[in-house]
Amino acid sequence: MVDGWPRDRVAIAGVGWTEYAKDSGVSTLTLASRAVSRALADAGLGHGDVDGVACHRVGDSVQAVLVAQALGVRDLRFHLDMFGGGGTSHQVVAQAALAVASGMAETVVCWRAVNARSEFRMGGTGRAAPDALEFAYQLPYGYATPPQQYAMLARAWMHARGAAPEDLGRVAITQREHALLSERAMMRKPLTMDDYLAARPIAEPLRLYDCCLETDAAVAVVVTGAERARALRQPPVLIAGAATGGGHWLFSNGREDPTVSAAADLAPRLYRAAGVGPGEIDVAELYDAFTFLVPLQLEDYGLVPRGETGGFYADGHARLGGRLPVNTHGGHLSEGYVHGINHIAEAVTQLRGAAGARQVPGAETALTTGQPGYVGGTCSALVLRRDR
């Protein structure tokens, strides 16, 4: 155990996806059940092997225990139904890994299922405001949606770094290039800088292509002990390290500089738990609800020196074949928005060497992150490692 983390003792043994769509036509229970069943089949396991279930949601999906009932789990040894946005996405998998390492459970399935386009639109205003104190001071001014909140953060970050719109555009364009190589991606047309700059504004400085997709989908991963995983169908991917942290609860909790996220506090603990440094990361899957969060996290996780991310993208280092490929599946901007867990699934795929045309050659270590703490007040991340 390092900083309380069971390094390399727990693995991800299976991954499963539903179709990414604008209208799934089914319930979130059906989406979850499909993704879980596919992840189990990928691992070579059945529903009867599951004794733990874990998910996160924000009042927009089905309870974990109901999915367990649908799967026919008779003796549920561990369940976690975590309330929270994308900042909790990686914490769900970390908690499942701790349950396995402690012996509370043997096989835990983690997922996110959401009809975020056709049903319960993420950040929509057609329902009651979240039960957060600061919303009482925002709603009278019509300041309520994620693009509005993140736009102010984006403007502050751009001003502090001297970033231009083109710097954000390169993030969107690079991820679109990657998405074109993924059979699951929702966005199937190339994106040019002219397209990006001509797109309609959503909330200044954010344009259309700065914002993540609204997606109906589910993604699941199977967590079990590393030794057990080695006897299953797929090459195991070890959970080398995990960490959770705090964040900016909106904008008034005493974090003086909004251009540095809570991930900067979390990162040293994460790398210490995994036994690696940022220079050993081969591929990065970084939470990208909005474009500026990607270069911000490159800085805060120590992958690129602060203020140098513009050149990093301009020189092609984030592309496939570059120094550190970022969001190789297209991310939330171009593949689909499944609230963080599709980043974990892509990291697993890369470390298995199974990503096809978008494969990063020789990838051994991946960083995958949840939302870095803004608005929701929490952040989480994993370092995954190919089993040697």
The mean pLDDT values, 10 residues at a time, for the chain of 388 residues are 87 97 93 97 97 92 93 94 92 98 98 84 61 72 85 96 98 98 96 98 97 96 98 97 86 77 96 98 98 98 98 98 98 96 98 98 98 91 96
- Note the pLDDT of residue 101: 98
- Note the pLDDT of residue 314: 98
Which among 150, 209, 271, 287 is annotated as catalytic? Answer: 287
**Radius of gyration for the alpha carbons in the chain, expressed in angstroms and rounded:** 19
- Note the pLDDT of residue 321: 97
- Note the pLDDT of residue 135: 72
CATH architecture, domain defined by 10-120+212-386:
3-Layer(aba) Sandwich (3.40)
- Note the pLDDT of residue 136: 74
Continuous H helices in the chain: 28-43, 64-71, 89-102, 135-138, 146-161, 165-179, 193-198, 226-229, 263-274, 293-300, 309-314, 331-334, 341-352
- Note the pLDDT of residue 252: 58
Is residue 342 a contact partner of residue 329, using CB atoms and an 8 Å limit? yes
Cβ burial 164-187 (10 Å sphere, 16+ → b, else e)? ebebbbbbbbbbbbbbbbbebbbb
- Note the pLDDT of residue 377: 84
209 labelled catalytic: no
337 labelled catalytic: yes
- Note the pLDDT of residue 58: 85
- Note the pLDDT of residue 203: 96
Q: Report the C-alpha gap between 220 and 55 in whole angstroms.
A: 9
- Note the pLDDT of residue 127: 61
pTM value is 0.96
- Note the pLDDT of residue 76: 96
- Note the pLDDT of residue 85: 87
- Note the pLDDT of residue 256: 80
Which among 20, 196, 337, 374 is annotated as catalytic? Answer: 337
- Note the pLDDT of residue 84: 86
